Structure 1
């Protein structure tokens, strides 16, 4: 997303840049960061002078680092004979340094390695913190002490990219923000939520504010409810140690899904500048009261059979403490206390070990008044706008239509925009978009500190109650729709999950 508006064309950022990946031997660097950088390189969207330098504790040579990086590089933008040549050129710019995150001396030596790679010239720097939050502050301070970080308004610039989790509640989040501010000013800090880089999510503001037909009906008079669903048919898959300390609300709902809600419900920004977009998101989040425990259902997947294979329950997963009450599923109903949305329930659910893998948004419109077509309908039907985030990105408008034939019979038809079929282009990975924005200094798709605080205010009270009261999650079989109580929660608001 770019402040220049609809005609913005990505361009190669100016000036030499070092992209420094802290935690370069980890899964995120291998699967997402380095492949995204290669994709940008293939499209001539990296500066002429750049280097990718990894830092991690694992012992590795430059060649071994390049070999690791190669495993996940694909030639989506450079098919044919040019692929191998481009890959070779890119990997020649990749280097590795082994050091300890809690050792200032390691970062002093890191600087000695880095400066010659930069040609001892003033160079912009991106610090990608692909590391556990527990070492953020040590690493940031050591970078500063080593003279690797410039001040916020300085040239060349320094920018830090930080991955979630951004704390575990409002208090710990505030502490993290304060600590990082010792080294990186707010305008240097890019808190990444990769969902905001997804093509369909970036299109939400365009859909709402560039199409006049939606403006008059985007309110409580015409919309009955909004549903946001995130479903995975996978287990915690080796992440049990991390996941058990956070749970599905912190891992998915408080960040990814709440960001989607904000884009759906916010008012039109004054402009597409980052400040104006984020101001409206903050205003919206502040208008959502803290979610109540009675409006939350939590569940935990149990043993089940999915696609003919036995799947272990969460409590059987390696690394999960005995008797854990960490939810792998949660559903919640939120309300927005403003004139546009008063009385409209926003139903949010997320879960692992379910019967599908998908993320989608459903805007459910109110029933058509009157009884004109009662004889042609078996039951009341509502229009729906369905925005499928993944897989198979699409925007679907469900409308009533006369089915062909001699009798007056109505049925649901779908006006369907499937991205792959409609555009026939390679849809960028979210990390490609977000890394390009970091290089260009566009903060629109990143989370500001006051936005983060407002999001935590919504969920911190209920998270504390769930933990203090050790609320038992309702078990559901792996491969099921989720806990039965989730359907009851939606029913209390006069609807069902769709």
Structure 2
């Protein structure tokens, strides 16, 4: 596969940045942040004078640091292999505590040193850190590493609080240190290719405009499935649960892009204004519109249940699966259920959007299936439209067919960038479009906080489901209750090309590697 040519040989950023990765010894940094920075570097989106400083509490020598940050960098071509040593020349590491001024002052000396040689006039601080140290680190940065005349950007990873109250407190404390323009709250799903494609599909194609509303659409499902369980991370996961981990952020962000009105322009604030408007039309989720589950051992007994994880508190009722229905009370979407579903230890790995249209009034044919637009976010990115067609032959039998745009066959010479590459590049270009604004976060928590408090009080029991199954019993009835109709006719999304089959095989290989990595790291 060929790599798309970069827009500019030395990147498009308005300023030359020094990048500091805080939490450089952690999993997020080695699995996502540094591989993304390398991807930008090798494709010439990162200025060759950019210096990257890793900062964490762990003491590491140069060789250990390089081994750590290259562990998950995939070298697919000879060009990749040649680029890696050059990338490492730009990287250095400094250990220090997160609440000690002297350590951040040492970091400042190192930054001044590299800035003199590179000519950098801007600083990007990437906080690949747990939420518990967000404010201590931000405070230390503001006190010791904030310079007048230097452009400052701060990337903050989710979770942004546990509920509305804690989110507001975090926003207040962070806002007292940095301005909203300086803060980039990263939700990596907003960097995924198919999520970024949603606005193009909606607002650049007249064929969708007249049907994208309650008059034509019956229901919308947004589904996130993982094949792996918590795999030794149950103690961490148990603090949050699947709703905080996936639904309140990733799936809700997708919902806003599906449901928003056309923005005045593609400027960041115009786009985010429309997303916030959608959220403000959504009331808090009702208890009767939620289904929870928790996985148990697999049917063959080979995979452990959630409560078998020694890091999980005994008797925990934290959900590992959740389905919730949201309604948008505005003119476009009134009465249309948006069903969000997410879970771990399920039968397959996928994220997709399924938009199901209404029945044809007074139809002439029997056994008709509803039209659907399906947007496959991952894996095997695709957009396909399910439609009725005449089965070839002398009769008038109807069959379900499709108009299929599978990226693996249509764009087989293109490389789809990793989400973190896309978002880090956006932050370097000072584009906030794909980052979460403070009022957007506030509106999102208002929707979910009441039901989360109900769950935290153990007022909803999760339904057990076997590891590797489709989810808890009752899911089919739940989505049917909210309007979804499953066709009586059999339909299988076709895999047309060898490229699709190869992509599927690579995904299965990736799942095995991910599971192995989780066990190795913990």
Same fold (TM over 0.5): yes
2:387 is the counterpart of 1:399: yes
Tell me the residue number matched to 1:4: none
Does the aligned pair in 2 maintain the 1:15–1:49 contact within 8 Å?
A: no
Which residue among 121, 124, 127 is the counterpart of 2:125?
A: 127
| 1:66 positional shift | 1.5
Summarize the alignment of residues 132-147 of structure 1 with structure 2, pairs less than 5 Å apart: 132-146=130-144
SS at match of 1:102: coil
Q: Does 1:370 align with 2:359?
A: no
1:282 is matched with 276
Q: Which residue of 2 aligns with 1:73?
A: 73
Residues 411-444 of structure 1: CA deviation (Å, up to 9, x unaligned): 0111111112111211100011000001000000
Match of 1:3 in 2: none
Name 1:415's counterpart in structure 2: 403
CA distance in 2, matches of 1:16, 1:491: 53
Corresponding residue of 2:31: 31
Question: CA deviation digits over 1:39-89, x for unaligned, max 9?
Answer: 11111111232111001111102332112222222345xx32x33332111
Change (3 A) 1:326 1:496: farther
The answer as to whether partners of 1:16 and 1:48 remain within 8 angstroms in 2 is: no
For residue 376 of structure 2, the aligned residue among 388, 395, 402 is: 388
- 3-state SS of the aligned residue for 2:464? strand
- 2:430 corresponds to 1:441: yes
Q: Give the match for residue 318 of structure 2.
A: 326
SS in 2 for 1:311: coil
Deviation of the 1:406 alpha carbon: 1.0
- Give the drift of 1:34: 0.7
Does residue 159 of structure 1 match 2:148? no
Q: Secondary structure at the match of 1:119?
A: helix
Among candidates 196, 203, 206, match of residue 200 of structure 2: 206
Taking structure 2 as the reference length, the TM-score comes to: 0.89
Q: CA deviation at 1:466?
A: 1.4
* Range that drifts further, 133-142 or 60-69: 60-69
Please name the residue that 1:22 is paired with: 22
Q: What are the within-5 Å matches in structure 2 for residues 70-219 of structure 1?
A: 70-75=70-75, 79-80=77-78, 82-119=79-116, 123-146=121-144, 148-150=145-147, 155-219=149-213
Secondary structure of 2:448's counterpart equals: helix
CA distance in 1, matches of 2:98, 2:485: 49
CA distance in 2, matches of 1:311, 1:69: 31
Which of 282, 288, 291 is equivalent to 1:294?
288
**Residue 451 (1) aligns with residue 440 (2):** yes
Secondary structure at 1:284's aligned position in 2?
Answer: helix
Mapped partners of 1:466, 1:122: distance in 2: 49
Q: Could you tell me whether the CA contact under 8 Å between 2:368 and 2:398 is conserved in 1? A: no
Match of 1:336 in 2: 328
Q: Deviations over 1:360-405 (max 9, x none)?
A: 000000111223122xxxx231000000001100001111111111
Q: Which moved more, 1:226-235 or 1:61-70?
A: 61-70
Contact 2:195 2:377 in 1 (8 A): yes
| Distance of 1:225 and 1:471 partners within structure 2 | 25
Cα offset, 1:29, TM superposition: 0.8
Whether the 8 Å contact between 1:262 and 1:285 is mirrored in structure 2 is yes
Provide the C-alpha distance between the structure 1 equivalents of 2:12 and 2:480, rounded to a whole number of angstroms.
Answer: 51
Q: For the Cα contact (< 8 Å) 1:21–1:129, is it kept in 2?
A: yes
The Cα offsets for residues 296-346 of structure 1, whole Å up to 9 and x where unpaired, read as 0111001114xx661111111121000101000000111000011111111
2-structure distance, mates of 1:171, 1:39: 38
Counterparts of 1:381 and 1:470, CA distance in 2: 38
1:122 deviates by 5.4
Query: Which runs of no fewer than 5 residues in structure 1 stay unpaired?
Result: 1-7
Q: Deviations over 1:80-100 (max 9, x none)?
A: 2x3333211110111000111
TM-superposition CA deviations, 1:239-277 (whole Å, max 9, x none): 212210000000000000000000000100000000000
